[in-house]
């Protein structure tokens, strides 16, 4: 069901359950890392000290790095889910449209069944189940 290729490869198809489990795993990892590294960014912040704001921005660098590292597996999961819907992974960009994009993304990837049978992206991951 979930393996390393789920998070690293952009080819193939995954069903809704794998999408949700992969997304949940990435969210938990992100929350844990943000709790560890984000707490340090806010601990010594003094809103009355202009230098403290600069220091906070610098201490948030690990949070940006974590976000960039988790971007790859997030895109891989979304791309494979779009493939299961027989659409290009470029459809992930729909999330950039405020409100409508996020709803569309959630409905298409999270709730609608993929193409039954093989499609141009591979075999049906639910075939034989």
- What are the helix and strand counts (H, E) for the chain? 5, 0
Structure-derived torsion over alpha carbons of residues 85, 81, 72, 40, reported in degrees to the nearest 10: 130
Is residue 11, in this structure, part of any structural domain at all?
yes
A 10 A CB-CB count for 13 gives 23
pLDDT greater than 70 at residue 45: no
Is residue 92, in this structure, part of any structural domain at all?
yes
Which domain, by its residues, includes 65?
4-111
- Angle at the Cα of 90 from the Cα atoms of 89 and 96, rounded to 5 degrees: 120
Q: pLDDT tens for residues 46-101?
A: 677 777 667 677 777 888 899 999 999 999 999 999 999 999 999 999 999 999 99
pLDDT band at 32 (very low <50, low <70, confident <90, very high): very high
Q: pLDDT tens for residues 12-30?
A: 999 999 999 999 999 999 9
Is residue 129, in this structure, part of any structural domain at all?
no
Domain count, the chain: 1
Query: Looking at residue 62, what is its pLDDT?
Result: 83
Is residue 124, in this structure, part of any structural domain at all?
no
Residues of the chain with pLDDT > 90, as a percent, come to 71
Is residue 106, in this structure, part of any structural domain at all?
yes
pLDDT band at 122 (very low <50, low <70, confident <90, very high): very high
pTM above 0.85, yes or no: yes
């Amino acid at each position: 069901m979930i393996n390393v290729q789920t998070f690293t490869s952009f080819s193939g198809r995954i069903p809704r359950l794998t999408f949700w489990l992969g997304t949940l795993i990435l969210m938990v990892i992100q929350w844990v890392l943000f709790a560890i590294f984000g707490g340090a960014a806010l601990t010594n912040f003094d809103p009355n000290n202009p230098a403290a704001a600069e220091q906070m921005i610098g201490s948030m660098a690990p949070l940006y790095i974590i976000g960039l590292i988790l971007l790859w597996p997030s895109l891989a999961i979304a791309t494979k889910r779009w493939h299961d819907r027989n659409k290009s992974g470029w459809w992930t960009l729909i999330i950039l449209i405020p409100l409508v994009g996020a709803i569309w993304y959630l409905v298409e990837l999270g709730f609608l069944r993929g193409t039954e049978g093989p499609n141009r992206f591979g075999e049906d991951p639910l075939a034989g189940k």
